[in-house]
A and B are shown apart, each in its own frame.
Chain A
């Protein structure tokens, strides 16, 4: 009996080994296939970007040429970029965009932080309703808001001003900022605050010594995100400003009668700050967007 069982063991193990080898091969194949798909998608995203970047960072002759090349094969030059930046309204547009985005960032963060704290720390009657309305507001179309707000701003005499546009952008970013900051606060266990209070802190001290240092990176990320949203926003900016256009509004306005060099450089120039900022806050991406699903 014992001999028989030994033989059987050997037999089975060989079969298992073959199966194992087959599985491994298949796994390797799967892995290679996944890589291929991933790289294809990455190319689909990066390819056009690289082309646009090449167009923005070359001479205007290279932009006009056909068929067009990409960067190592065409001369590198800041000529196109310089041409774009020297075009009418671009420098003021950049300044306006930065002002609007900065005000939006500050206002939105200042207003959203207490609300985010309240929704993550207190269980109060009306909390769910508040969160739900924030979500509803988050999903509302900008288009719907921009026109009436423009009319209101005209009647208040604060139309066509970077400040009123910042007010609008704050209204647009506020819901997202509240949700994101709420999730940042929620990631700090309340027990930490309690521990600080047991060890001699007042609630305010506990907030300052424990909660604040822990949430600051997350809030900074959310603020950057707010900045990017405002920097990118074009519809409301086009409706609410006439003389004091932001960069996207200016580019949109000039789009139909401008050269390709202008358009390519403009598109690239608008993208770059966002890409840099997004890189810094990539760790928080899921905090930002994952929130929408909850």
Chain B
């Protein structure tokens, strides 16, 4: 058989793994990456910074300029315009209703056209409230034209198709709900005058209807005002200080305790599995429950005072979780976090310890190393990779302490960054500033991760 007859297999790519990870990727893109990007934008982008001013009272007419939010305006004129049904009932939005009416004028000609609802009294309604018929209202005042104009369009600037006398009976053919547009004059950010039309929904009108202010804009702009607001928030510095303080006292304690726990597990005592389960219990407990748990210990009538009372060390319960005893709140949060999150570090350390062969430890013992020397010179260096990962993980988690703080301090006396995020969002209804806080936490997480990775690398370089 010659070589040419032998078939060559075409190499085809195996798409199976890509198809299998696709749902997860799509999901994370949709519910993780996209909101994350939105969140960062939220912190630096003001959606309502500017109000576009149009040349005509039409949504699609040319934009002649922008007036910043909160700027004051002169209102020169107003006009109704169609508004899509889903946009009705917006805050501040002024509407007027026009009826398309059909009736006879003084000469007996049938006239059909639009008139504002202020000129028509509805006399008959369908069961669902749709007006069916009415009469033309009498005009008050003597100087006014006693006749009511009927227009070709639901718009006072359109052609007048006829005039109706007061009390004429008219059939109501159609109803149009219109949004009021104002002709306004104001100044843009550079102080240049801008004049044109804008929708009433964006404008707060003052009493005499000749002045108003831009309530919110409809055009976004890059801004630092949310970040400024966050930094100048009176809770920002205390929150940052407390978060960092907690990080500094929590993490080292956790690591020492976790290594001790791991060594106890690794000693393979009888009842080892029971120890392991007990040590792992906090893994499954929510942070809020842990907060309550330690609240029960530190509250004035709680476990700690009860024990001290039984022991006769105090005669009446002393308060811990009050504004006057902030240091006790910090201690309580510290203990609660150590109680809660040491288990994660322990599991990571135990996993790492299991990778160290017993022979290495036995060899160290054989050469006369005592327990401390073994930990210092054998176990810790071999555990380094596991400890690094645990350190990064714990730091990032420590930046997020939230429910424990709320449970122990009510979130006022001692506050942390995550709590401020929550407060800005929930209590102050300010998602942009909340997003700024979230972005700040993200930044801190990334910085600490990078610092850790850097230090590790330089250490390794030094060792090499």
Instruction: State whether B31 touches A171 (Cβ < 8 A).
Output: yes
Is the C-beta of A290 less than 8 angstroms from some C-beta in chain B? yes
Please encode chain A, from 242 to 260, with 1 for each CB lying within 8 Å of some chain B CB and 0 for all others.
Answer: 0000001001100110001
Instruction: State whether A286 touches B286 (Cβ < 8 A).
Output: no
- Across chains A and B, the number of contacting residue pairs, with CB separation under 8 Å, is 287
* Nearest Cβ on chain B to A156's Cβ, whole angstroms: 11
Give the chain B neighbours of A170 by CB distance below 8 A. Answer: 27, 31
Chain B contact-residue range equals 35 or more
Instruction: State whether B284 touches A278 (Cβ < 8 A).
Output: yes
Instruction: State whether A279 touches B277 (Cβ < 8 A).
Output: yes
CA distance A166 to B26 in the complex (A): 16
Instruction: State whether A234 touches B28 (Cβ < 8 A).
Output: no
Instruction: State whether A147 touches B410 (Cβ < 8 A).
Output: no
Give the chain A neighbours of B399 by CB distance below 8 A. Answer: 141
Is the C-beta of B269 less than 8 angstroms from some C-beta in chain A? yes
Q: Which of A30, A68, A274 contacts B302 (CB 8 A)?
A: A68
Q: Taking chain A's interface residues, is the majority helix, strand, or loop, or is none over half, making it mixed?
A: helix
Please encode chain A, from 21 to 46, with 1 for each CB lying within 8 Å of some chain B CB and 0 for all others.
Answer: 00000000011001101100110111
Q: A48-B339, A67-B310, A68-B303 are in contact. Are A118 and B392 (CB under 8 A)?
A: no
Q: Which of A31, A68, A289 contacts B301 (CB 8 A)?
A: A68
Please encode chain A, from 144 to 188, with 1 for each CB lying within 8 Å of some chain B CB and 0 for all others.
Answer: 111111111000000000000001101100110010000000000
Instruction: State whether A44 touches B21 (Cβ < 8 A).
Output: no
* Nearest Cβ on chain B to A29's Cβ, whole angstroms: 12
Instruction: State whether A152 touches B34 (Cβ < 8 A).
Output: yes
Which of chain A's residues 172-217 have a Cβ closer than 8 Å to chain B? Answer: 174-175, 178
Instruction: State whether B445 touches A115 (Cβ < 8 A).
Output: no
CA distance A143 to B441 in the complex (A): 8
Q: A137-B28, A151-B38, A275-B281 are in contact. Are A115 and B396 (CB under 8 A)?
A: no
Which of chain B's residues 29-69 have a Cβ closer than 8 Å to chain A? Answer: 31-32, 34-36, 38-40, 42
Stretch at the interface among B153-161, B167-175, B189-197, B345-353: B345-353
Is the C-beta of B238 less than 8 angstroms from some C-beta in chain A? no
Instruction: State whether B400 touches A174 (Cβ < 8 A).
Output: no
What is the size, in residues, of chain A's interface with B at 8 Å between Cβ atoms? 91
CA distance A274 to B283 in the complex (A): 9
Which of chain B's residues 295-321 have a Cβ closer than 8 Å to chain A? Answer: 295-297, 299, 301-303, 305-307, 309-310, 317
Give the chain A neighbours of B462 by CB distance below 8 A. Answer: none
Q: Which of B283, B287, B292, B317 contacts A52 (CB 8 A)?
A: B292
Is the C-beta of B279 less than 8 angstroms from some C-beta in chain A? yes
Is the C-beta of B288 less than 8 angstroms from some C-beta in chain A? yes
Closest to A278 in B: B284
Give the chain A neighbours of B257 by CB distance below 8 A. Answer: 41
Is the C-beta of A51 less than 8 angstroms from some C-beta in chain B? yes
The 8 listed contacts between A and B (C-beta, < 8 Å) are A118-B17, A127-B17, A144-B39, A148-B42, A170-B31, A239-B426, A286-B347, A289-B348
